[in-house]
Structure 1
């Protein structure tokens, strides 16, 4: 596969991006006048092309919170037949390159924390950190990927000028949420009663294929949504952040690794393995 990454900024390119967006999510795409304005005013829009055809994109624009300017990465989409081929990672790395060139020091974005593929990309491959949790972030969504459940989201931060050491000691981690097999071959969340102050790391399971679980049992998918919502929000309020993720071959779950915020997001972002 011969892949090329290109800055998207013309009306013709943005029309092609809108068509791909509609195909991926099955909804009305972002208006052309909006994407064009972003591309011309400090935003970064990048397309992934195979044999001259657009197969993926990332769309981002300037954001600011508490006086800090950052790049807000709003949307990344990959055509179904080109997923799991590393295109998302390459788009994000090119986005980081362009962001640095324009003077951004960090990128923030949201994603559904129950989508393990996205979680692994964001926290493990890129090195972002889950810093906030927003309940029903976008309200009711009726697209193919998000419909029928509250649109809860992680907010992650990717600090571009820092590469913290993400090593951690599994022996010092405690499982807070685990998966238990059901009689019909699915998995339900089980909260463990542990002393969270006695460990530097917490492990929290999510289904490896949440979309498939949702197709088979919407009620069980909602159970996972509500269980993780309550736990993630509480841990963030208590000073934990999501720092990494772990997948073991043959297991039906991925585990998020959580660490203390003051150790992993210090004033300069230094990490500290306990």
Structure 2
């Protein structure tokens, strides 16, 4: 089976995208008049086609903030049966390529920091950084992804002219040495579920900080909603504090043996280059 990426701009293509969006999120899709207007006025909509069938898309439109025009990447969706094949990463890289061609230098978007799959893609593979945290960003969202949790979101920035895209992370040995700098751990309960365990450490001279979130948060939420809410509130309090104090979420490390994703926090003023990590 062959995958092709195509710019979406016709009404027929956008109708197909709306149908896929509805299947993924189980809610009404973005209105056609909105997606069509965005596509015709500086937006970038890209579809992933497998043997002619639409299996994924990314939808974005122009944004403006503090005197800077950027591309606001509003939504990316992949058909459930085609996930874990790298399609999302290919869509984002195609989006960056097209954004550069059209003169954009920054792409911004939101994602739920408790969704480790998105965190790993955004921060480790693409090289975006988490620069803001918005509490209950979209209000109550009763779709398949959000359930009844507050819709907290990271805002990430992908500066296309700062570094080449591609996977980046600290070497695993360096991360293991940095375990003493973990400010949020995932402790295992008797039932096997992970619970947030904040740690007080001296952050003044720390070169980086680590904060854990469960790798499979959707399953945890399904089994124990109260515990899922505990994770939401614990990460909210920590991430908001770190951002106010001048840290940014600058990378991510998947620790499969522990069942967690570690967010790697660096001071905003620092620039760093990571070594490749095996996916």
Q: TM-score range by the shorter chain?
A: over 0.9
The match for 1:215 is 222
Asked if the contact 1:263/1:272 (under 8 Å) is kept, the reply is no
**How far apart, CA to CA, are the structure 2 residues paired with 1:3 and 1:272?**
31
Partners in 2 of 1:217 and 1:6 — Cα distance? 40
After superposing the two structures, state which structure 1 stretch, 184-193 or 162-171, moved more.
162-171
Matched, 1:91 2:114: no
Deviation at 1:247, TM superposition (A): 1.3
**Runs (4+) off by over 3 Å:** 164-169
TM-score normalised to the size of structure 1? Answer: 0.95
Q: 1:172, CA displacement in angstroms?
A: 4.6
8 Å contact kept, 2:252–2:264: yes
Structure-2 residue corresponding to 1:109: 109
CA contact (8 A) 1:166 1:243 kept: no
Q: Which runs of 5+ in 1 are unaligned?
A: 265-270
Tell me the alpha carbon deviations over residues 192-241 of structure 1, each in whole angstroms, 9 at most, x when there is no partner. 01111131100000000000000000000000000000000000000000
Could you give the per-residue CA deviations for residues 109-153 of structure 1, whole angstroms, max 9, x where no partner exists? 000000000000000100000000000000000101111100000
Determine helix, strand or coil for the equivalent of 1:198.
coil
8 A contact 1:172–1:200 mirrored in 2 = no
- What residue is the counterpart of 2:19 in the other structure? 19
Aligned partner of residue 89 in structure 1, secondary structure: helix
Task: Tell me the residue number matched to 1:263.
Answer: 270
Q: What SS does the corresponding residue of 2:183 show, helix, strand or coil?
A: strand
Distance 1:153 1:64 in 2: 19
Paired residues, what number? 267
CA shift at 1:166, angstroms?
A: 5.5
- Residue 3 of structure 1 is matched in structure 2 by 3
Contact 2:72 2:109 (C-alpha < 8 Å) held by counterparts: yes
Q: CA deviation at 1:272?
A: 7.1
What's the counterpart of residue 177 of structure 1?
184
**Structure 2 residue 34 is matched with structure 1 residue 34:** yes
The Cα of 1:83 is off from its aligned counterpart by 0.5
Give the superposition deviation at 1:161.
1.2
Unaligned residue ranges in structure 2 (runs of 5+): 275-279
Residue 233 of structure 2 corresponds to residue 226 of structure 1: yes
In the alignment, is the contact (CA less than 8 A) between 2:130 and 2:154 conserved in 1? yes
Partner of 1:268: none
Task: List aligned pairs for 1:46-125, cutoff 5 A.
Answer: 46-125=46-125
2:96 and 2:260 map into 1 onto residues whose CA distance is: 29
In the other structure, the counterpart of 1:191 is 198
RMSD over aligned CA atoms reads 1.4
CA contact (8 A) 2:169 2:252 kept: no
State the match for 1:240 in structure 2.
247
